[in-house]
Structure 1
Amino acid sequence: MSFLLIPLVAAAAYALGSLSSAIIVSRWFGMDDPRTYGSGNPGASNMLRSGRKDAAAYTLAGDALKGLLAVWIAYAFRAMFDSVGDGIVAVAAIAVVLGHMYPMFFEFKGGKGVATALGVILGMSFWTTLFALAIWLTIAFKYKKSSLAALVAAACAPFLFFIIEPHHPKMGWALMLIAVLVLYRHKDNIKRLREGKELLIGETAKPLADNGQNEQAAAENAEVAAKADETVAATPAETAVTENADAAASETAAEATAQNAEAAVEAANTDNKPAEKQS
């Protein structure tokens, strides 16, 4: 029985994690899908950008509760089956975070796992949670960027756990893997942080569709402006070519007129010579 327990708990934890709090809360409040505005992430930070602090709070609580419940369930089975040990807790922790990131109920388009990971850590070690939360708050208040705070806290959490709970290495390695997953899910945030384009905490976000249309319109305007500059630059040259062509045509016409005049004079002289001989 115990050899089936770990995969069953993992499946249950994944299903629990697949309940996306942000999407559920948005539907409850009649809000837009959080995947359609701001960063496109169905998480508490992006919910806050909608202007609904209550919705963001519910989302944060729901995501953290998922991680906490998954760990508690694993602890309960560990108490009943000693043979599974800490491994069942480690597997449940990873599974619930994966469920949040890739939810089977929402087209596998989920969040970045920060709040759910916080719930997992809370279930494993209160003091690790306290220190990790202190790191998050310090970075968040100083730089006003939730993603940066999450990246630093996620990177520090496994090492804090190894120091505070050295007798549970399997859980520590699970937190290490979760930290790697969280960092990977923040790859777009890392890019925006390097470019200085990352949104601040609570900053009002525009719909993703509008942002795309604005970028397209800007590109079209830039293309039109470039063509206008090319036209302006080409106009003097074209004018000079036209003037030169007109001048050449005038010279040609003048030469033709002179030649015609000379021919007429010669013809007149030729006609006069026979007349002189007859006289």
Structure 2
Amino acid sequence: MNFLIPVVIGYLLGSIPFGLLLTRAVGIDIRSVGSGNIGATNVLRTGNRWLAGATLLLDAGKGLAAVLIARYFFAPGADSPMAADFIVYGAGIAAFFGHVFPVWLGFKGGKGVATYIGVLLGWNWVVGLIFCAVWLLVAFGRKYSSLAALTAAATAPLFAYGLAGAEDAALSLAAACALLTLVLYYKHWGNIRRLWDGTEPKIGSEKNKAG
């Protein structure tokens, strides 16, 4: 139960569709805008930067909250340090999957970038900040939001392994990051194809509707 409950809590937190709820509050159905995605990038296409920023923070916050709840309320009751880590990683993974595959929306959720950041900040804040730095560097340098997300996600397991400390801890964190990265790549498959074809719209482009 020490594992199951935080995982369920993590999934339920992750599945809260903040982008949909915030845009609906101002009379917009985000699923009819741009790509129809419920994440912050698509919310930005409504032209409301405040809503997009709030979506980004809330989507990251729910991932962070899931990890912290697991760490401080459930992990202390674990039988071993390894079991405690299992609880914390499980809650974070569940939150990410909740965002990407929310049961309330027919398992059609966001692409997971903001929630990945929140989860990663909870697991290891240094690696989380590096993820953000890589995203910003690529986004400002190449002007592709998707490429920035893909690059940051690809490097996250590497930085996790290099910075997590002891070998067992490093492997566990790197493996957890690798799982999230694989799912993020799956959700970005359309973006990957457009990047390859040279048709992916850049940040700020009026044609940036593909998602």
TM-score between the two structures when normalised by the length of structure 1: 0.69
Where in structure 2 are the equivalents of 1:1-279 lying within 5 Å? 4-31=1-28, 33-76=29-72, 77-83=74-80, 84-167=83-166, 168=169, 169-204=171-206
Amino acid at match of 2:38: P
CA distance in 2: counterparts of 1:207 and 1:146, whole angstroms: 12
Deviation at 1:82, TM superposition (A): 4.1
Give the aligned length. Answer: 204
Q: Is the 8 A contact 2:2 2:75 kept in 1?
A: no
Deviation at 1:205, TM superposition (A): 5.3
Q: Which runs of no fewer than 5 residues in structure 1 stay unpaired?
A: 209-279
Amino acid at match of 1:28: A
Q: Which runs of no fewer than 5 residues in structure 2 stay unpaired?
A: none
Q: Is the 8 A contact 1:66 1:96 kept in 2?
A: yes
Deviation at 1:202, TM superposition (A): 3.1
Q: Is the 8 A contact 1:64 1:119 kept in 2?
A: yes
Secondary structure of the corresponding residue to residue 123 of structure 1: helix
Instruction: Could you list the structure 1 runs, at least 4 aligned residues long, displaced by more than 4 angstroms after superposition.
Output: 205-208
CA distance in 2: counterparts of 1:199 and 1:138, whole angstroms: 18
CA distance in 2: counterparts of 1:127 and 1:171, whole angstroms: 12
Secondary structure of the corresponding residue to residue 40 of structure 1: coil
TM-score between the two structures when normalised by the length of structure 2: 0.91
CA distance in 1: counterparts of 2:206 and 2:106, whole angstroms: 26
Q: Is the 8 A contact 1:9 1:74 kept in 2?
A: yes
Amino acid at match of 2:197: E
Deviation at 1:35, TM superposition (A): 2.3
Amino acid at match of 1:192: R
Deviation at 1:170, TM superposition (A): 2.2
Q: RMSD of the alignment, in Å?
A: 1.7
Q: Is the 8 A contact 1:87 1:171 kept in 2?
A: no
Amino acid at match of 1:68: L
CA distance in 2: counterparts of 1:129 and 1:207, whole angstroms: 28
Deviation at 1:130, TM superposition (A): 1.8
Q: 1:218 maps to which residue? A: none
Q: Is the 8 A contact 1:14 1:97 kept in 2?
A: yes
CA distance in 1: counterparts of 2:207 and 2:25, whole angstroms: 20
